[in-house]
Amino acid sequence: MPNMNMVQALNSAMDIMLTRDPSVVVLGEDVGYFGGVFRVTESLQKKHGAHRVLDTPIAEGGIVGAAVGMCANGLRPIAEIQFADYIYPAYDQIVSEVARLRYRSAGAFSAPLTIRTPCGGGIRGGQTHSQSPEAVFAHVSGIKTVMPSNPYDAKGMLIAAIEDDDPVIFFEPKRVYNGPFDGEPDKPAQSWAEHPKAEVPEGYYTVPIGQAAVTREGSALTIVTYGTMVQVSLAAAEALGLDAEVIDIRSMVPLDIDTIAASVSKTGRCLIAHEATRFAGFGAELSASIQEHCFWNLEAPIMRVAGWDTPYPHAFEWEYFPGKRRVMNALRRLMGEAA
Amino acid sequence: MTSRLHVPAVPARPGEQPDFSYVKVAAAGDAPRPPINVPVLGTAPLAEDLVRVLDDRHRAVGPWAPKLDAETLRRGLHTMMLTRAFDDRMQRAQRQGRITFYMRSLGEEAVSAAAAIALRDGDMLFPSYRNQGLFLSRGLSLVDLMSQLLSNSHDMCKGRQLPVMYHSAERRIFSISGNLATQFPQAVGWAMAAAIKGETDIAAAWLGEGSTAEADFHHALTFAKVYKAPAVLNVVNNQWAISTFQGYAGGEQRSFAARGPGMGIAGLRVDGNDFLAVYAVTAWAAERARAGHGATLIEHVTYRAGAHSTSDDPARYRPKDEFDAWPLGDPVERLKSHLVTLGEWDDARHESLSKELDESVTGAWHEAVSYGTLNEGPRLDPSLMFEDVFKELPPHLLAQRDELLAELAERGESDHA
């Protein structure tokens, strides 16, 4: 099986869908000739043509609005927003149009649109190239919101998103595009090459949206996480020698609460880890849902580790990022006397 | 008949001959200069034309030729050369890993340098990320700018912003955003406030031609038209938005300046590499705005000779030798030649100024680095990241700050400068 990093896996997913389904088109800033600023759409225009892989004006609201119209005329667009930090000019189209089109037209119209966008920090991008805004989309009814953490899931989930008849916002944690990251920036960058999740089938397959993955089985506690924080969480638990069960939720909407609740009911302890700001972040929804399902099995309060509630500061990237040490401290507090 | 999607044609890609046949270069001195109170539609021909002052023999000709003394011209040349020396050194600093990111303005220095002289010190500037010449012309120190690039202990942004996102409240230059076109309606709002308060200062803003596709550009023009806001709105058409050619912003067979009259404000199209022409149209638009005749949209036709930023390689999307073929030349060389023609400058002085500027940039760099870099020397206190989210630190941020300080103490790194 070929080895792919996340960029190659995503590229392969789009290549396959452009080949299989003539209604699939790709549009976004610099995605055509140049192949995208992160090279995710490399060679797609050359292979599939400038009428199916479109360079667009710099207008995120225009990209999403035009994609909605394409949907209404039978296409299945994949729109790239170059950085999640640039998605806000499209927010009205996403919230008021994309998310509600099916509902308000009683199913007469819909928007089978995939919006791909790189998110998260760890690349010294400062406050305008580092954000993780998944919660502001998960909060809106009518759009699926997902974030893969590794190449295998990235490809399978992107194909599933493209085939989904509902709109999907597909967040790509850019720090792990080229390799897994355990949260220690001073260590040399790792590549996906040796990682089992980088073994990616060349052809078509899907990873269903709405299913969490048990990344590591364990009995002492559950870490519920996603995106860049999956590997950081694994590394932190390992450093403490804790037999943690690590759940990569993969999909925020719809949320696989059954898998999460089964794990927390088993372990009795839960840490939620995400890179986005903490206050009213997706961790708040997770925490509330978990306690509703698992209250009588909990042995400690559900805890959260997250980005601080500030913009992402350029100079203090690694003081901001919820790295291995912060996760370890949270795990110690969670385990209390049991640690 | 079936419809067929039109995809803008890019004149040349890597390996192909550069082709600027789409740039119609009018003769210097040909464009008429209307009175500053001309009705909006009276500017429509000028929005399609190209105002040029410097002719092929380096003389200032025609009705737009400004009456600038040699001292002012030398000041403009100084700013452009300083901008270039600064850009060159900072580009190398990024390549050496001393700063994380940089954006040069190579080839389009006249746009900022000439405008800064044409506007008054009290006028409020809303720059894009490629207007470093405005900061230099208004006298910000190299050390202050470099310290921002280094996110060091002397950084005006306290470590919070990506390099090049400067500001200066004292010199009346607004905080640069990493998001595109947001400053355009803000400049119009500043100008509306000046009019509400009955002031004489005006606002000026800049964005790239690619950014005109953003809705904020259109909001700005609408508000400027509706309220006759005293603003000078500049589109810097440098042909490229990262990898996408200006045709993808709607520039194919169309001027950006024409959107001014199209939206109900004056429009002027100018040779952006002609210092004198940029000065002249900016002064015209500023006088028009100050006299209550409303805003002007100016398109500066220029060329982004460098990469978009240190993160992209233009050899991947355009011919390597495109700048050599650019019909409007190099703004520094053109102003230099004009001064030489006037007998007010020569190669020896040019050489000596160039050396002097390189030395002052190097000197400033040594001082700036002494205030720290991201990895060495004095650092800002990380707890600063919690300040200025709000005016007063709310309880939840106080708690998070304490948690971070405890974490840093644990790491043995709590004694930051």
ipTM of the complex model: 0.92
| Contact present, A277 and A120 (Cβ < 8 Å) | no
**Do residue A259 and residue A118 come from a single domain?**
no
- Could you tell me the two tokens for B254? 């169309």
Strands (E), B279-416: 296-301
Q: B399 and B312 in one domain? A: no
Q: Is A161 domain-assigned?
A: yes
Stated as kind and residue range, the H or E segment containing B118 is: helix B109-118
Note whether A22 and A158 are same-domain residues. yes
Let me know if residue A173 belongs to a domain: yes
CATH code for position A295: 3.40.50.920
A181 and A158 within one domain: yes
Give residue B416's pLDDT: 42
What are the tens digits of pLDDT across the range A147-164?
Answer: 999 999 999 999 999 999
Whether residue A208 is contained in a domain is answered as: no
* C-alpha closest to that of B186 among B160, B159, B216: B216
Domain count of chain B?
2
Return the bridge partners of A140, or none. Answer: none
Looking at the fold, whether B102 and B210 belong to one and the same domain comes out as: yes
**B367 vs B370: CA distance, rounded Å:** 5
- Indicate whether A217 and A149 sit together in one domain: no
Same domain for B188 and B290, yes or no, is: yes
* Whole-number Å distance between alpha carbons of B254 and B249: 10
* End position of a domain, from candidates A175, A198, A221: A198
A37 and B242: CB-CB below 8 Å? yes
> Is residue A205 assigned to a domain?
no
Kindly state whether residue A175 falls inside one of the protein's structural domains. Answer: yes
Residue where the block lists tokens 């974030």: A147
Identify whether residues B124 and B214 lie together within a single domain.
yes
Do A246 and A146 reside in the same domain of the chain?
Answer: no
Domain annotation covers residue B6: no
pLDDT in tens, B233-291: 999 999 999 999 999 998 888 899 999 999 999 999 999 999 999 999 999 999 999 99
Which site among A87, A310, A324 would you substitute to test the B interface, given the most B Cβ atoms closer than 10 Å to its Cβ?
A310
CB count in 10 Å sphere of residue B375: 9
Same domain for A142 and A26, yes or no, is yes
Q: How far apart, in whole angstroms, are the C-alpha atoms of residue B276 and residue B114?
A: 7
H-state helical runs in A217-281: 229-239, 257-267
Q: Which residues from B are below 8 Å from A325, CB to CB?
A: 407, 410-411
What residues 248-277 of chain A have any CB closer than 8 A to a CB of chain B? Answer: none
Note whether B77 and B135 are same-domain residues: yes
Residues A77 and A180 in one domain: yes
| Confidence (pLDDT) at B413 | 54
Indicate which of B180, B309, B410 best probes the interface with A, i.e. most A CBs within 10 Å of its own CB: B180
Provide the residue-wise pLDDT of chain B in tens; the chain has 417 residues: 899 999 998 999 999 999 999 999 999 999 999 999 999 999 999 999 999 999 999 999 999 999 999 999 999 999 999 999 999 999 999 999 999 999 999 999 999 999 999 999 999 999 999 999 999 999 999 999 999 999 999 999 999 999 999 999 999 999 999 999 999 999 999 999 999 999 999 999 999 999 999 999 999 999 999 999 999 999 999 999 999 999 999 888 889 999 999 999 999 999 999 999 999 999 999 999 999 999 999 999 999 999 999 999 999 999 999 999 999 999 999 999 999 999 999 999 999 999 999 999 999 999 999 999 988 999 999 999 999 999 999 999 999 999 999 999 988 754 443
Residue B322 has φ and ψ, to the nearest 5°, of -65, -40
Residue A56 sits in the same domain as residue A183: yes
Question: Which domain range does residue B193 map to?
Answer: 40-370
Instruction: Please count the structural domains in chain A.
Output: 2
Is the domain of B165 the same as that of B307? yes
Residues B263 and B406 in one domain: no
Question: Taking the C-alpha atoms of B175, B178, B180 and B182 in order, what is their torsion angle to the nearest 10 degrees?
Answer: -30
Q: Which residues pair with A221 in a beta bridge?
A: A244
Instruction: Give the integer Cα–Cα distance in Å for B362 and B221.
Output: 42
Query: Is residue A337 predicted with pLDDT exceeding 90?
Result: no
- Percentage of chain A exceeding pLDDT 90: 95
Q: What predicted TM-score, i.e. pTM, was given to this entire model? A: 0.95
Q: How far is A315 from chain B (nearest CA, A)?
A: 5
Give the pLDDT of residue B212. 97
Nearest to B161 among A61, A127, A278 (CB): A127
**Is residue B363 assigned to a domain?**
yes
For residues B178 and A86, the answer to whether their CB atoms sit within 8 Å is no
A145 and A226 share one domain: no
The boundaries of the domain holding residue A54 are 6-198
Query: Do B135 and B176 belong together in one domain?
Result: yes
Q: What's the pLDDT at A186? A: 86
- What is the rounded CA–CA span in Å between residue B154 and residue B167? 14
**One domain, residues B324 and B403:** no
Q: Are residues B318 and B405 in the same domain?
A: no
Report the gap between the CA of A31 and the closest CA in chain B (Å).
9
Q: What share of chain A in percent tops pLDDT 70?
A: 99
Let me know if residue B144 belongs to a domain: yes
> Do B241 and B289 belong together in one domain?
yes
Q: Which of B158, B72, B154, B152 lies closest to B116, judged by CA?
A: B72
Instruction: Write out the catalytic residue numbers of A.
Output: 129
Which amino acid belongs to residue A74?
G
In this structure, is residue B33 part of a structural domain?
A: no
pLDDT digits (tens, 9 = 90+) for A113-141: 999 999 999 999 999 999 999 999 999 99
Residue type (1 letter), B399: A
Query: Nearest-CA neighbor of A53 among A82, A90, A15, A84?
Result: A15
